[in-house]
A and B are shown apart, each in its own frame.
Chain A
């Protein structure tokens, strides 16, 4: 396996391929600022929950660093992400809409109560028809054998993966460390 690009995002810092990108905001406001500065052409971003925004912006920056032609339909790239807290931040937001006092369940929030939605958002944005998968793990190192065996599945069409850790427990507590990993 060969890693070509890596991004790390904390609520106060963004490090892309070893270089720190200076931020003026923190937390979710920082994610929105990153979107405005580096993408700003995908209004669906504003419908997304924090976990999806985190994964989305991390991937945008990774793919801009990669510099290949974007939005070409392909099935040779997988999106394999993992975390500890599943979709708990958005689950709690959805729970607020079904309180006994004020019961008005929100379909717009309910759709984000699954952690794998972030992998779907990335696949849709980039027209990736390869594998998308989400795992809940104790530690990030558990993901590597999963990524390696995914890329080496004999009859698969995959050559590379956007893979890593994408965790969010509230709007200002999140961590992403995502890489572009090649089979060879």
Chain B
């Protein structure tokens, strides 16, 4: 078992997990309409920081705020840094992680998880394995992505973006909105804090690189794995990916029904934060921790046919 010692979110909705949670509860959204943000790129709707942010300082800020709430010493050799990102700092993924580790005086080589939109959930799973096997005692998991002309143009070419605020799980849904954020969770084998990471699972659909399985083969298997030893009715909340693209949400609905979780409350956070890519699995897990009382599942799916889910339990 690994335990959540502390967490932090910085997004256009605020600085701090609680500030972001309160903003969501108040129905605020970071989504805005951008007509001329990037040269040649068609207008789009996204959740972007008002002031452009730099990747490494943003990650460091989030990690520092989380570390401050714990007794861990980030330079200790029993601490590992895990960075979840898809495009890193302007397409560079490794050196930002190294710079963050260096900032904290941590000499362990950082691990970057780049598993498309599932990266954040996969990063928690990687942390869990490394901690439970005794290789490290604490993991600083940071998720971050910033939006660029590169990313927005590509999603537009894919016709995956909505130019209006997204509508997850709605019959009217017509695409996703991108978002920017950094978020941190500090995991530890120390038995502290309310929430522990009980199980995690990653499965591929083995179906298509850019479209999910209609029968949710990968996502269902993730849910099946993380529910071993628990009854479906023990799960109060399922934090879905909920991108609001037609195929993703339909697939998740199938996975939830196949896993016997149709009773659970669904948490879909993209209408508040947009799709924050590498940050999504960290940020959305934190909001679920602040929302749920006893036990929830957070799931994500992404390009490459990959799906991931984790189950968290409150002590």
Q: Who on chain B is nearest to A113 by CB?
A: B154
Taken together as a complex, chains A and B put the C-alpha atoms of A94 and B116 apart, in Å, by 17
Cβ of A123: which chain B residues have Cβ within 8 Å of it?
204-206, 305
Instruction: Decide: A135 and B153 in contact? CB cutoff 8 A.
Output: no
For residue A156, CB closer than 8 A to chain B, the reply is yes
For residue A170, CB closer than 8 A to chain B, the reply is no
Q: Tell me, rounded to whole Å, the shortest Cβ–Cβ distance linking B157 to chain A.
A: 4
Q: Who on chain A is nearest to B304 by CB?
A: A120
Instruction: Decide: B114 and A73 in contact? CB cutoff 8 A.
Output: no
For residue B111, CB closer than 8 A to chain A, the reply is yes
Taken together as a complex, chains A and B put the C-alpha atoms of A134 and B93 apart, in Å, by 12
Cβ of B150: which chain A residues have Cβ within 8 Å of it?
91, 94-95, 98, 113
Instruction: Decide: A130 and B203 in contact? CB cutoff 8 A.
Output: yes
Taken together as a complex, chains A and B put the C-alpha atoms of A128 and B217 apart, in Å, by 11
**How many residues on the B side are at the interface (Cβ–Cβ under 8 A)?**
55
Instruction: Decide: B203 and A117 in contact? CB cutoff 8 A.
Output: no
Instruction: Decide: B204 and A94 in contact? CB cutoff 8 A.
Output: no
- Chain B 231-263 near chain A by CB (<8 Å), digits 1 or 0: 000000000000000000000000000000000
**How many residues on the A side are at the interface (Cβ–Cβ under 8 A)?**
53
Instruction: Decide: B111 and A129 in contact? CB cutoff 8 A.
Output: no
Instruction: Decide: B109 and A137 in contact? CB cutoff 8 A.
Output: yes
Q: Which of A86, A105, A137, A153 contacts B153 (CB 8 A)?
A: A105
Q: Tell me, rounded to whole Å, the shortest Cβ–Cβ distance linking B304 to chain A.
A: 3
Instruction: Decide: A86 and B154 in contact? CB cutoff 8 A.
Output: no
Q: Which of A86, A111, A121, A126 contacts B93 (CB 8 A)?
A: A86
- Given A114-B114, A123-B206, A132-B202, are A100 and B39 neighbors across the interface (CB < 8 Å)? yes
Instruction: Decide: A119 and B204 in contact? CB cutoff 8 A.
Output: yes
Cβ of A103: which chain B residues have Cβ within 8 Å of it?
40, 153
Q: Tell me, rounded to whole Å, the shortest Cβ–Cβ distance linking B4 to chain A.
A: 19
Taken together as a complex, chains A and B put the C-alpha atoms of A115 and B66 apart, in Å, by 29
Spot the interface stretch: A7-15, A24-32, A138-146.
A138-146
For residue B99, CB closer than 8 A to chain A, the reply is no
Q: Which of B87, B157, B200, B203 contacts A107 (CB 8 A)?
A: B157
* Complex interface residues of chain B between 97 and 142 (CB less than 8 A to chain A): 97-98, 109, 111-116, 122, 126, 129-130, 132-133, 135
* Complex interface residues of chain A between 131 and 181 (CB less than 8 A to chain B): 131-139, 142, 145-146, 148-150, 152-153, 155-157
* Complex interface residues of chain A between 74 and 116 (CB less than 8 A to chain B): 75, 79, 84-86, 88, 91, 94-95, 98, 100, 103, 105-107, 110-111, 113-116
- Given A114-B303, A137-B94, are A131 and B154 neighbors across the interface (CB < 8 Å)? no
Most buried by B among A106, A111, A135, A137: A135
Cβ of B153: which chain A residues have Cβ within 8 Å of it?
98, 103, 105, 110
For residue A127, CB closer than 8 A to chain B, the reply is yes
Q: Which residues of A contact B (CB under 8 A)?
A: 73, 75, 79, 84-86, 88, 91, 94-95, 98, 100, 103, 105-107, 110-111, 113-117, 119-121, 123-124, 126-139, 142, 145-146, 148-150, 152-153, 155-157
Sample of 14 more A-B contacts, CB < 8 Å, known A86-B91, A134-B115: A75-B203, A113-B150, A116-B304, A117-B209, A119-B304, A121-B304, A129-B221, A136-B93, A136-B113, A142-B111, A145-B135, A146-B130, A149-B133, A149-B135
Supply 20 A–B pairs (Cβ within 8 Å), ascending by A: A86-B88, A86-B93, A95-B150, A98-B149, A111-B210, A111-B303, A114-B114, A114-B302, A116-B116, A121-B209, A123-B204, A123-B305, A124-B208, A124-B209, A126-B206, A137-B111, A146-B111, A146-B126, A149-B133, A152-B133
Report, nearest first, the 8 A-B pairs whose CB atoms are least far apart.
Answer: A120-B304, A110-B154, A149-B129, A136-B112, A105-B157, A123-B204, A103-B40, A131-B202
